[in-house]
């Protein structure tokens, strides 16, 4: 379900893109410096590293290297002077964070941001590979941009992110979208300046997609906007859920050292950010890969709790790694908010086994019980998949039961979308699509019921809201979020935007809450201009 509460639905059975172009049969023009130039569809394509999901799956003993010397070369610092860039971002918060880094790199090269595609000299599409409908949107956008590329041949058009890590996607771009100039993956973001230079001067399509376990690149510039900041604490995932492509596209789990994370959070506090979200494909696995220290996610949260930043969130967590020490730390409250996003995906132990989630229905409900015992006011949200191969009506009903028993107040809900290269794509998809649609609709009805019940509990209460801006539907109404991430609409002065306000809940509704303003929060009235200390 989206944040507005409308269930997302994937479009029909998955397409097989493997039939598209295989560049191994193309004409080789040149081979030098580890790069091969092919002649494809009348265009030269320089491939320095093609995607390889088998390589992306490897989990060896290779030591994770941390790189701190990642500055932009002097020859590139004025490369973008007088030029404009535009980035379209699809997918999760990790993609949003990657876009912040690319914005920072563009700005250091002298580029100026624009949302006008006609004005842009570089357009990047930062992609998501989790669901097929996201993939369809990307290819639709590439189709729309073809005319602009014909009108403006000097435009550099690039595709990056998780989709770029998939062989079938790169093959399809080579075959159907030769107007693309640049393709790079999740491990290559720091290489953007050099790749951009090659695409600009070489007049060739440049393909560089590393498929590797992954290193950690520190000290990359970031251009953040707004009141909230994303802080990546780890990369990759080793869970290999049978439906998920992320472990192949993002590499193995590797944690940033706590000193680097804490230094970044302290700097954000000094800059005056009101809220941070700690990011990872599985934040609960943080620190499991450390060989030289016993330091886990609960320890990191306990240290960040002492930094003077008003709100700290995290996403996404995995029930298997959500330990009691983390619960104990979160229960201390303070700047650690009481909203926990805890994807359980299915309420059936049998389906969970086929998904390779490595916990049972009973273990998930036991975890929820321990969280609620320590944090009675915790608000739990989740991700749920319906129509996984082999799911029966009885097993779907078990999911409904878990939603109610766990008190899930909101969920992002999906029809299972097979991803090429994952084990689930090879399973017999024996659930009729019409049945999947009915289950999604039924699940969304229950989620709506749970969301309304959760919001009604706040009727008449005074709550703290971080005022984010004007409502999208009414410029006279302000909009913001509570600590538990509930959307609040209320009338108040525009000067409150960017500050904490106290409001009284008047009309709880299903997906948002109407309230009346009381005033700025005490800290805001006393320190209206503080930037936040440490």
CA distance linking residue 251 with residue 314, whole number of Å: 20
In 3D space, the residue among 375, 74, 102 whose CA is nearest the CA of residue 217 turns out to be: 102
CA distance linking residue 103 with residue 120, whole number of Å: 14
Prior bond of 13 cis (ω within 30°): no
Q: In what order do the strands lie in the sheet containing 35-40?
A: 27-32, 35-40, 43-49, 205-208, 182-184, 156-161, 122-127, 84-89, 112-113
CB 220 within 8 A of CB 257: no
CA distance linking residue 3 with residue 409, whole number of Å: 12
Q: Are strands 216-217 and 66-67 parallel, antiparallel or unpaired?
A: parallel
CA distance linking residue 325 with residue 331, whole number of Å: 10
CA distance linking residue 487 with residue 204, whole number of Å: 47
CB 450 within 8 A of CB 39: no
> What DSSP line would sit under 352-383, residue for residue?
HHHHT----HHHHHHHHHHHHHH-TT-EEEEE
How many CA atoms are closer than 13 Å to the CA of 369, on its beta-carbon side? 8
CA distance linking residue 108 with residue 72, whole number of Å: 8
Q: Angle at Cα 28 formed by Cα 202 and Cα 123, nearest 5°? A: 35
Q: Tell me: is residue 162 an annotated ligand-binding position.
A: yes
> What DSSP line would sit under 312-368, residue for residue?
EEEE---GGG--HHHHHHHTT-TTB-SEEE---B-S-HHHHHHHT----HHHHHHHH
Q: Angle at Cα 407 formed by Cα 227 and Cα 438, nearest 5°? A: 100
In 3D space, the residue among 334, 236, 238 whose CA is nearest the CA of residue 279 turns out to be: 236
CB 235 within 8 A of CB 271: no
In 3D space, the residue among 85, 125, 88 whose CA is nearest the CA of residue 108 turns out to be: 85
H or E stretch including 134? helix 132-151
Q: Tell me: is residue 160 an annotated ligand-binding position.
A: no
Q: Helix, strand or coil for residue 105?
A: helix
Q: Tell me: is residue 92 an annotated ligand-binding position.
A: yes
In 3D space, the residue among 281, 285, 311, 310 whose CA is nearest the CA of residue 300 turns out to be: 285
CA distance linking residue 51 with residue 28, whole number of Å: 18
User: Which whole-number Å values give the CA distances from 101 to 84, 225, 238, 322, 396, in the listed order?
Assistant: 16, 12, 24, 29, 40
Residue ranges of the annotated binding site for [4Fe-4S] cluster are 92, 128, 162, 237, 241, 244
Residue ranges of the annotated binding site are 92, 128, 162, 237, 241, 244
């Amino acid at each position: 379900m989206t944040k507005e509460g409308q269930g997302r639905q994937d479009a029909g059975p998955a397409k097989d893109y493997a039939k598209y172009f295989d560049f191994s049969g193309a004409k080789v023009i040149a081979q030098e410096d580890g790069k091969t130039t092919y002649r494809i569809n009348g265009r030269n394509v320089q491939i320095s590293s093609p995607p390889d999901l088998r390589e992306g799956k490897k989990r060896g003993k290779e030591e994770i290297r941390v790189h701190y010397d990642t500055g932009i070369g002097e020859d590139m610092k004025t490369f973008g002077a007088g030029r404009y860039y535009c980035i379209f971002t699809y997918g999760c918060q990790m993609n949003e964070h990657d876009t912040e880094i690319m914005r920072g790199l563009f700005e250091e090269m002298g580029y100026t941001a624009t949302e006008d595609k006609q004005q842009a000299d570089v357009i990047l599409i930062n992609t998501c590979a989790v669901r097929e409908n996201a993939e369809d949107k990307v290819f639709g956008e590439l189709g729309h941009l073809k005319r602009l590329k014909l009108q403006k041949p000097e435009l550099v058009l690039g595709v990056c992110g998780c989709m770029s890590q998939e062989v079938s996607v790169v093959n399809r771009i080579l075959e159907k979208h030769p107007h693309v100039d640049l393709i790079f993956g999740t491990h290559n973001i720091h290489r953007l300046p050099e790749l951009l230079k090659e695409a600009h001067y070489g007049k060739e399509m440049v393909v560089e997609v590393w498929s590797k376990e992954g290193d950690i690149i520190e000290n990359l510039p970031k251009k953040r906007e707004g009141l909230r900041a994303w802080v990546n604490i780890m990369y990759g995932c080793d869970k290999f859920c049978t439906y998920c492509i992320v472990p192949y596209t993002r590499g193995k789990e590797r944690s940033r050292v706590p000193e680097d994370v804490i230094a970044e959070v302290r700097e954000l506090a000094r800059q005056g950010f009101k809220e941070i979200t700690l990011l990872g494909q599985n934040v609960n696995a943080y620190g499991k890969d450390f060989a030289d220290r016993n330091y886990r996610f609960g320890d990191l949260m306990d240290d960040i709790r002492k930094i003077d930043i008003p709100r700290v969130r995290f996403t996404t967590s995995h029930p298997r790694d959500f330990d009691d020490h983390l619960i104990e730390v979160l229960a201390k409250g303070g700047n650690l908010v009481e909203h926990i996003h805890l994807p359980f995906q299915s309420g059936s132990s049998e389906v969970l086994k086929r998904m390779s989630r490595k916990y049972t229905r009973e273990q998930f409900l036991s975890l929820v019980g321990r969280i609620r015992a320590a944090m009675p006011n915790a608000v739990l949200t989740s991700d749920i998949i319906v129509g996984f191969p082999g799911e029966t009506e009885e097993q779907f009903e078990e999911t409904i039961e878990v939603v109610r028993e766990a008190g899930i107040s909101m969920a992002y809900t999906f029809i299972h979308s097979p991803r090429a290269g994952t084990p689930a794509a090879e399973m017999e998809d024996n659930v009729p699509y019409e049945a999947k649609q009915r289950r999604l609709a039924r699940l969304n009805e229950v989620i709506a019921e749970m969301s309304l019940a959760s919001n009604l509990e706040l009727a008449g209460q005074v709550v703290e809201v971080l005022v984010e801006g004007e409502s999208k539907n009414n410029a006279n109404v302000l909009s913001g979020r509570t600590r538990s991430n509930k959307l609040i609409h209320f009338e108040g002065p525009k000067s409150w935007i960017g500050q904490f306000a106290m409001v009284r809940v008047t009309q709880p509704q299903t997906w948002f809450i109407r309230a009346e303003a009381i005033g700025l929060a005490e800290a805001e009235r006393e320190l209206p201009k503080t930037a936040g200390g440490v």
